[in-house]
Chains A and B, each alone.
Chain A
């Protein structure tokens, strides 16, 4: 789980990048609170071979990354 709420891009992408690099997880949950971060994390995750589903969670976005 990466909780990147409150962080502005590119920090959330870096957080996801670090999580992917260290553990290479099959699935990863990412929380962000800006539409622009959803876009940026999705672009990064797709390039890293993950499928992304996004759901709204109040004011936040919950992203499920799966390989």
Chain B
């Protein structure tokens, strides 16, 4: 019965290759894709936060959503729905973002960082897995954010349309936006190429149901390893690509570098990387998928996921306005602020409350 799902493997390989290409064409190192970082950059370019080094209209986010939308429309899977605890999802999106930005990466970038040899991501992965495990304990006891309902088709097009218009405006009237002149926000692949690559990835991720949280979650809950193949494929392709292409010095791709010290856009505060990604993992399980998956589901017409994406953008703004994001390149002791530590710990309390409140009646006794 251990059949390998080749669609997922293919999607994983394509994500890995796409990330290598995007990094080679100018995206920050080990950041071919990073849903958290790129939504944070979009929050910055819109002026929702003032961190000058992380402001850019990332076409990858737009492409992922549009690619998933086109594929869902073609396959007859586009369906506008919503109404499953939207405010809670907004809050969860914000908390997932805050946790991810303490570590400096969404679950996808965590895999890309690992693939680049950044061992700081290893402890984050352990935290992430622990967060997912805690989330599955509540899923098993019947946790849900309640059902959604079919809505008018227009609901499903809100996020794709907003992103499309924002992207078009950015190209036509760039002076409206804040654009980083230094730092990660200033490093980016050419806009239209990145948009196209991301659209292909979005379409494939839609077919494969690719999800960084789903892989570990399904393995823990159902011994179903389907989605983990995607996770593994991304990691292997990244390692091989960084060794081969990075070693050859292709484009702006940095070579594979094993270790903890001086990793790009990273820090070595392991305790808080661990806790940040534990928060992101737990929150993502409650949302039903990782930040990438939320984008793909938004493209399929899921208004609840669109709300989660808006929540993540708001979370990014909060992160930078209150100094919660990890400081890349800083010494471990200075990389995570006191504010961030307080918010992460409060975040766990909030997740626990959401997890308990949304259990079915009587579940606590059964458990």
Q: Which residues of A does B touch, CB under 8 Å?
A: 5-11, 13-14, 17-18, 33-36, 39, 43-44, 46-47, 59
Contacts and interface: CB of A to CB of B under 8 A. Distances in A.
Nearest to B285: A10
A18 B224 CA distance: 16
Given A11-B139, A14-B140, A18-B142, A6 B222 contact: no
Instruction: Summarize A's interface: helix, strand, loop or mixed.
Output: helix
Contact of B209 (A7, A36, A47): A36
A20 B352 CA distance: 28
Nearest to A15: B142
Contact of B218 (A6, A7, A10, A46): A10
Interface string B178-220: 0000000000000000000000000000000100001001100
B357 interface: no
B358 to A, nearest CB: 11
A6 B140 contact: no
B139 A10 contact: yes
B140 A35 contact: no
A8 B218 contact: no
A14 B136 CA distance: 10
A6 B81 contact: yes
B77 A10 contact: no
B79 interface: yes
B168 to A, nearest CB: 30
A6 B142 contact: no
Nearest to A4: B147
Given A6-B84, A6-B147, A8-B84, A13 B222 contact: yes
